[in-house]
Amino acid sequence: MADSRDEPLVLGIETSCDETGVGVVRGTTLLADAVASSVDEHARFGGVVPEVASRAHLEAMVPTIQRALKDAGVAASDLDGIAVTAGPGLAGALLVGVSAAKAYAYALGKPLYGVNHLASHICVDQLEHGALPEPTMALLVSGGHSSLLLSTDITSDVRPLGSTIDDAAGEAFDKIARVLNLGFPGGPVIDRYAREGDPAAIAFPRGLTGPRDAAYDFSFSGLKTSVARWIEAKRAAGEDVPVRDVAASFQEAVVDVLTRKAVRACKDEGVDHLMIGGGVAANTRLRALAQERCERAGIRLRVPRPKLCTDNGAMVAALGAEMVARNRAPSDLGLSADSSLPVTEPHVPGAGAHSHDHDHVHEVSKDNLYS
């Protein structure tokens, strides 16, 4: 049996939104997962404020990295690489993480890997369930994205089959929670109230599920509007709003569409397993309905534990470790954040580099710091 110390030891930094995540991974083994969240600072605004998030990342970055290294029981000099979310995400927030990663890579003489946030959400499942099957079908659901992705190689080939055309699922959860006066973030609180409600109490619409609609795209804007108007009508009539039934019925409409399309994609593409990730993957009803439908369809379901579904540094480290293991090209120290980095780019290699022509991990050259 191979010595686990031969597997790449990578530190990952995630700052795409409101959580400063730093993870340390050796191969597919999670050693540390440190997170500093600024969600409480955004709660009074009812959503994430980019400037507030960026400042919080600046304050939390060094202490969180130090905590992750301590938890992992390793020194920074032991690392084989530094991975960081280069996009997509909030531009200012991403820049904080990218700048920190570049500084550490330069100071330590370690290779830098700018990786894709969405691809990282897929790769994190390796830390819990082992190597990803190839190809992998992934349903990613969070506040910023609802996507169906097919990957034959998580480090180089991720193909989008469908995505949200308006509000992402997590965004819809936040907005309905606000209409119901349940606070922010909306996902966990709606999940909690829905457990005591009737998911069949109100027949809310299922977006983009008609015969002429796009097979794999998602739309939750119409659902959000329908729920908000239903609540407003109740209040206008002086009637009490059955919060638990509304939460359960709204949640059912979201997870029904998500799981229905994901299972359909698996069948159409001939993939016998489904991975679900992103913050909304922590939703208990989504997990339960996905399990039911996958079992009926003969599809194996892979869902990481809730803490690994939300944004974290472990997922970035996991993808970085895979980049090192597969000898993918490191990024230049001139790496920049890209708020709209397409998922078809799992990582951002160095200028002129090709991901398959590196036979070993290159150390960072100080000459290309400003390239």
CATH code, domain carrying 88: 3.30.420.40
**Does the annotation flag 207 for ligand binding?**
no
Residue 5: pLDDT band with limits 50, 70, 90: low
**Does the annotation flag 347 for ligand binding?**
no
| pTM tops 0.85, yes or no | yes
- pLDDT at 323 (0 to 100): 97
**Does the annotation flag 121 for ligand binding?**
yes
**Does the annotation flag 340 for ligand binding?**
no
For 90-119, what is each residue's pLDDT tens digit?
Answer: 999 999 999 999 999 999 999 999 999 999
Q: Per the structure, how many domains does the chain have? A: 2
53 plus 96 within the same structural domain: yes
For residue 129, being part of any structural domain is answered with no
**Does the annotation flag 170 for ligand binding?**
no
**Does the annotation flag 167 for ligand binding?**
no
Q: How far is CA 223 from CA 37, 165, 167, 169, 348, in A?
A: 29, 13, 10, 10, 36
For 247-262, what is each residue's pLDDT tens digit?
Answer: 999 999 999 999 999 9
Residue 362: pLDDT band with limits 50, 70, 90: very low
Task: Select from 252, 280, 305 the last residue of a domain.
Answer: 305
**Does the annotation flag 360 for ligand binding?**
no
- pLDDT at 37 (0 to 100): 82
Range of the domain at 15: 4-124+312-368
Task: Select from 256, 276, 305 the last residue of a domain.
Answer: 305
Q: What is the mean pLDDT of residues 198-226?
A: 95
**Does the annotation flag 278 for ligand binding?**
no
Is residue 237 predicted with pLDDT exceeding 80? Answer: yes
**Does the annotation flag 142 for ligand binding?**
yes
Q: How far is CA 193 from CA 210, 250, 257, 296, in A?
A: 29, 11, 20, 28
> What three-state secondary structure class fits 94?
helix
**Does the annotation flag 283 for ligand binding?**
yes
**Does the annotation flag 80 for ligand binding?**
no
Can you tell me the distance from the alpha carbon of 21 to that of 14, in angstroms, rounded to the nearest whole number?
5
